[in-house]
Amino acid sequence: MMKSIYKKIQIIFLFSLVAISILSITFVSASNIMSVEADIIVPPQVVSIQVPDQVYLGNITIGSQTETYRVQVKMNNTGNTNITITPRLVNPNNLIFQNLFFFRILEDTPVKIGDWSLPITKPASIGGVKEGSFYMKLDLADYPGTITSSMLNYKTDVEFIAVAQ
């Protein structure tokens, strides 16, 4: 009889161990695995810039000076890609402003409008702004015409064309 109780205890103990092991394996398995999900979005390429409304280049006094001061202009890349900007005269027949020159830093050799471009990298984050800057001046040293009277507030429009790199 003692043997039979001892045997029943062993069977119950063994059955309990097996049941606990099965439950532990099931429980551990369920908590070791996690489903991970993400949406991978590739935003459309956006080319966008901000330019100043107006820049004043200063005075040129015919007979004593041929160029204006070098004026720094700041421009922003507000898109999401690296860009190259190229200025062009809206009225390409304006003989005076065909002598508008651009350069990235003061030490650069000035380059005539139409032949100059500036790369600006994309902003660090979507919706951000990356500033670029350059210098410009008006130089009439090689102006082919003759200016016989003052032209105060003489203006033209410059369009900045931005393209993705």
Q: What tokens were used for 4? A: 């039979």
Does the pLDDT value for residue 98 go beyond 80? yes
Q: What are phi and psi of 62, to 5 degrees?
A: -60, 130
pTM score: 0.73
Q: What is the pLDDT of residues 143-165, one digit of tens each?
A: 888 889 999 999 999 999 999 99
pLDDT at 20: 66
pLDDT of residue 154: 95
Structural contact between residues 133 and 67, judged by C-beta atoms closer than 8 angstroms: no
Concatenated DSSP letters of 35-68: --------PPP---EE--S--------TTT--B-
Say how far apart CA 55 and CA 133 lie, in whole Å.
Answer: 13
